[in-house]
Chains A and B, each alone.
Chain A
Amino acid sequence: MSTDRSFWGYFAANHAEIGRLTLEHCAMVGAAMALGVLVGVPLGILLTRKRRLAPLILGTTTTLQTIPSVALLGLLMLLPVVGGIGIRPAITALFLYSLLAIVENTFAGIEQVHRPTVDAGRGMGMTDAQILTFIELPQALPIIVAGVRISAVVCVATATVASYIGAGGLGDLIFRGVGRANNAMVAWGALPAIALSLIVHKALSAFEARLKEGPAGDYRRVLKWIGTLSAAALLGFGLWAAGLGGTDTVVIGSKPFTESELVGEMVAQLAEASGAQVERKFYMGGTVCFESVKGGTMDAYVEYTGTGLMSHLGLPAMTESARVYAKVKREYAQRWDLDWLAPLGFNNTYAMAMRRDEAERRGIAKLSDLRGRKLRCGFDEVFADRPDGYKGMLARGLSFCASVKQMNSGLMYQAVAKRETDVIDAYATDGRIVSLDLKILEDDLGFFPPYDAAVLVGPKLFRKAPGLREKLEELAGSIDDSEMARLNAEVDSKKRRAAEVAREFLTGKGLLQRAAQTGGPESP
């Protein structure tokens, strides 16, 4: 089944996945909001009883709110139990974000309750708990619900970012769609999220209005409401606990671009063929994969030797492939007990790329031709600061950027195709170099170090999937540069599924039985 670029075509081919991701999104938001209410409302009540705590608690929740979501997810990744990758840190982060509005509104809602009514209640012999449930909570309810509404709407939107750490949800489609320049995919990630926001907003607004309308807000309704939320929270905890379980499950990750997904798919399918239960954590942001394998929450993903050498180990660039590989293999084993399997065969080094017509017009063919030019540069998130990136070029006197724009690698290719930037840092095996007709500038300076792809393996992988080692050894050396670029183009240009392209490749190489169709992104 090949996917479609058109809006309705994409929906027709992928409605099952869109539905699943929407449900995942709802579960994530629901669990976070239920936790938010179950913790936030009592916290707000506590503040009305212990005012001295107000600056501390409101200050904390306000500070939490100001942490950018990606940064919060990045921090949570490093924590045990509530952190790591997947849905747990996502729910934790969304829960923390939801607290401010709920705590503040509960506090403000109870503060504005008519004092003589409370006084009369106390004078008639109500206990503190009875004043809370008979008078304060029912009368504060519309304002508390408004707080929940504000939190929930923000939560639906923020949850799309959780895809960054492998939590799933509609963000998956948005991230993948941007990475592949597939606008229909982006739209089908964004539209259900917008619709969810609107539904949540409308539903809670209507509830609020009914509560404000008159005396209908009986406290019994509050209790039912709290009961319903508790049930939702239990469901949330269930999901959370499910995220904890399955210790024998093999977790395979990928970085947020097509090539990484393709080779990640290959590793995942081979693991499934060896009988393991596999969980895919694909399209994870930046260094999430490396941190996760190091932290033990992921078992394997495909990394590049050059990235390992310079980004993870912080060592100076080297130019010889074999020496780089030997170096990272030795260092990783010593420092983190991680193993680099034999390289897969392709070298996805950085390369400077321009539109072919633009390069010809300016007379640029080689890296050295860039010297002294004033170009508009578009680099991915890490290239500008890397010793083997633009920073290293500057150190060697190779300066050519009049301006530098930092962008997601998917947007980078679109930007150069639309002439919004002149030169970008491309990957040598990228399918889009062919499909967008870009020119790779020849590295006549021997500047770019090797980026040989290899599977980076954590200590538990082969214990969980004993038969997998032989299969991965067979995969090593079987994909060269042009084969990888072709596979990338199958997904990026022809809009085929990565799982399908990977399976086709593996069966073609005889690594996978034709019948062994055990996995795919729809059945992780």
Chain B
Amino acid sequence: MIRFEKVAVRFPGGVTALHELDLEIPKGQFAVLVGASGSGKTTALRLVNRLQDASSGRVLVDGVDVQERDPIELRRSIGYAIQGVGLIAHMSVAENVALVPRLKGASPEEQRAIARAGLARVRMPPDQFLDRYPHELSGGQRQRVGLARAMAADPDLVLLDEPFGALDNVVREEIQDEFKEILGGLHKTIVLVTHDMHEAIHMGERILVMNAGRLVADGTPEEVVLRPKDEFVRKLLGRRRRELENYVKELRG
């Protein structure tokens, strides 16, 4: 469970990235933070694993203030994947996937086994991919390796920051479907950040719309898209509103 209590982030120079955010994401929920760039969605995500520290307020993970936890140990307990994945170019797929277990001191045999299981989980034949290097993979394959890496230590909480940002449209939808299926079966708490409303609706069970450092809408896809309360959300949906409404209905259908 994640809880934000009046969390604000002000950068030196006077820019406020986040205005007092109050938010609770219960265990096992798939939440999507959606908004334009500069909306504060990524800042909110990075507060959870202490890549960003709050200027005021508290962030709690499983009831414990993250400030009271060792940042290294905290991060190793949380799965994390980012846009372009951040795979390490000079390490093989196996080494990349088993990185966190290795940091935690797993033996080479354990690492290999974890990499194997991790690849299988994201539907990549381990024998074919374990010893390849990132530059030998397609964009979609890299994305899947990135997900496998985020899940390798079997964390209860997974943070995904624009994980599909680097993919072209056709591949993106395919991977989104796959990720949804894989993640859906794991009962983990997942927070995904995206600028794409379509992706948010497609992936999340809860949509959190951010604008200019504030949370402007919070609800299920239906609530947010079919009954938008906020002027900004209406604008965000814009010309695609009809299309997205149909999409939500179709998903429910």
Residues of chain A at the chain B interface (Cβ within 8 Å): 114, 116-127, 130, 134-135, 138-139, 214-219
B86 contacts A117, C-beta separation under 8 Å: yes
Does B94 lie at the interface of the complex (its beta carbon under 8 Å from any beta carbon of A)?
no
B103 contacts A126, C-beta separation under 8 Å: yes
Interface of B is mostly: mixed
| With A124-B99, A125-B74: A218-B86 Cβ-Cβ less than 8 Å | no
Does B34 lie at the interface of the complex (its beta carbon under 8 Å from any beta carbon of A)?
no
| With A124-B100, A215-B135: A139-B75 Cβ-Cβ less than 8 Å | no
A214 to B91, CA, bound (A): 10
Q: Which of B49, B73, B89, B150 contacts A117 (CB 8 A)?
A: B89
A127 contacts B86, C-beta separation under 8 Å: no
B90 contacts A123, C-beta separation under 8 Å: no
| With A116-B82, A217-B90: A123-B72 Cβ-Cβ less than 8 Å | no
Residue among A123, A134, A218 with the highest chain B CB neighbour number at 10 A: A123
Q: List 14 A-B contacts (CB under 8 A).
A: A120-B82, A120-B85, A120-B86, A122-B51, A123-B46, A123-B51, A125-B100, A134-B88, A138-B90, A215-B89, A215-B92, A215-B133, A215-B135, A216-B90
B72 contacts A127, C-beta separation under 8 Å: yes
Does B87 lie at the interface of the complex (its beta carbon under 8 Å from any beta carbon of A)?
yes
Residue among A122, A125, A214 with the highest chain B CB neighbour number at 10 A: A125
Which residue of the partner chain B has the closest CB to A117? B86
Give chain A residues whose Cβ lies under 8 Å from the Cβ of B51. Answer: 119, 122-123
The 9 closest A-B pairs by CB, nearest first: A120-B86, A125-B76, A125-B75, A123-B80, A215-B133, A215-B90, A117-B86, A116-B86, A138-B90
Taking the nearest CB of chain A, how far is it from the CB of B162, in angstroms? Answer: 10
Q: Which of B71, B73, B88, B90 contacts A121 (CB 8 A)?
A: B88
Residue among A117, A130, A214 with the highest chain B CB neighbour number at 10 A: A117
Taking the nearest CB of chain B, how far is it from the CB of A39, in angstroms? Answer: 26
Which residues of chain B from 78 to 123 have any CB-CB distance to chain A below 8 Å in the complex?
80-92, 99-100, 103
Interface size classification for chain B? 20 to 34
B74 contacts A135, C-beta separation under 8 Å: no
Taking the nearest CB of chain A, how far is it from the CB of B7, in angstroms? Answer: 18
Residue among A119, A122, A124, A215 with the highest chain B CB neighbour number at 10 A: A124
A130 contacts B135, C-beta separation under 8 Å: no
A359 to B232, CA, bound (A): 102
| With A125-B72, A125-B73: A116-B90 Cβ-Cβ less than 8 Å | no
A357 to B77, CA, bound (A): 94
Taking the nearest CB of chain A, how far is it from the CB of B63, in angstroms? Answer: 20
Taking the nearest CB of chain A, how far is it from the CB of B4, in angstroms? Answer: 18
Interface flags, B146-181, vs A, CB<8A=1, else 0: 000110000000010000000000000000000000
A117 contacts B74, C-beta separation under 8 Å: no
Which residue of the partner chain A has the closest CB to B152? A124
Interface of A is mostly: helix
Taking the nearest CB of chain A, how far is it from the CB of B47, in angstroms? Answer: 12
| With A123-B51, A125-B76, A127-B72: A139-B82 Cβ-Cβ less than 8 Å | no
B81 contacts A120, C-beta separation under 8 Å: yes
Q: Which of A114, A117, A214 contacts B133 (CB 8 A)?
A: A214
Taking the nearest CB of chain A, how far is it from the CB of B234, in angstroms? Answer: 33
Q: Which of B77, B84, B103, B134 contacts A130 (CB 8 A)?
A: B103
B91 contacts A124, C-beta separation under 8 Å: no
Give chain B residues whose Cβ lies under 8 Å from the Cβ of A214. Answer: 133, 135
Taking the nearest CB of chain A, how far is it from the CB of B2, in angstroms? Answer: 16
Give chain A residues whose Cβ lies under 8 Å from the Cβ of B134. Answer: 215
A135 contacts B75, C-beta separation under 8 Å: no
Given contacts A123-B49, A139-B89, A214-B133, 11 further A-B pairs with CB under 8 A are: A119-B82, A120-B82, A123-B80, A123-B86, A125-B77, A135-B88, A138-B90, A139-B90, A215-B91, A215-B133, A218-B91
Give chain A residues whose Cβ lies under 8 Å from the Cβ of B84. Answer: 116
Give chain B residues whose Cβ lies under 8 Å from the Cβ of A134. Answer: 88, 91
A119 contacts B86, C-beta separation under 8 Å: yes
A119 to B162, CA, bound (A): 14
Taking the nearest CB of chain B, how far is it from the CB of A384, in angstroms? Answer: 60
Interface flags, B23-44, vs A, CB<8A=1, else 0: 0000000000000000000000
A139 to B134, CA, bound (A): 14
A122 to B76, CA, bound (A): 10
A118 to B46, CA, bound (A): 14
Residue among B81, B84, B86, B149 with the highest chain A CB neighbour number at 10 A: B86
Give chain A residues whose Cβ lies under 8 Å from the Cβ of B87. Answer: 117, 120
A120 contacts B80, C-beta separation under 8 Å: yes
A124 contacts B80, C-beta separation under 8 Å: yes
Which residue of the partner chain A has the closest CB to B159? A123
A138 to B83, CA, bound (A): 22
Which residue of the partner chain A has the closest CB to B79? A124
Taking the nearest CB of chain A, how far is it from the CB of B227, in angstroms? Answer: 35
Give chain A residues whose Cβ lies under 8 Å from the Cβ of B86. Answer: 114, 116-121, 123
Give chain A residues whose Cβ lies under 8 Å from the Cβ of B46. Answer: 123
Taking the nearest CB of chain B, how far is it from the CB of A145, in angstroms? Answer: 14
A215 to B76, CA, bound (A): 25
A117 to B135, CA, bound (A): 14
A218 to B88, CA, bound (A): 11
A130 to B74, CA, bound (A): 16
A135 to B103, CA, bound (A): 13
Which residue of the partner chain A has the closest CB to B132? A215
Give chain B residues whose Cβ lies under 8 Å from the Cβ of A130. Answer: 103
Taking the nearest CB of chain A, how far is it from the CB of B111, in angstroms? Answer: 14
A114 to B134, CA, bound (A): 14
A215 to B137, CA, bound (A): 13
Q: Which of A116, A122, A219 contacts B83 (CB 8 A)?
A: A116
Give chain A residues whose Cβ lies under 8 Å from the Cβ of B159. Answer: 123
Which residue of the partner chain A has the closest CB to B166? A116
A306 to B72, CA, bound (A): 74
Give chain A residues whose Cβ lies under 8 Å from the Cβ of B80. Answer: 120, 123-124
A122 contacts B135, C-beta separation under 8 Å: no
A472 to B120, CA, bound (A): 89
A124 contacts B135, C-beta separation under 8 Å: no
A489 to B112, CA, bound (A): 77
A508 to B210, CA, bound (A): 102
A124 contacts B76, C-beta separation under 8 Å: yes
A118 to B84, CA, bound (A): 12
Which residue of the partner chain A has the closest CB to B104? A125
Give chain B residues whose Cβ lies under 8 Å from the Cβ of A127. Answer: 72
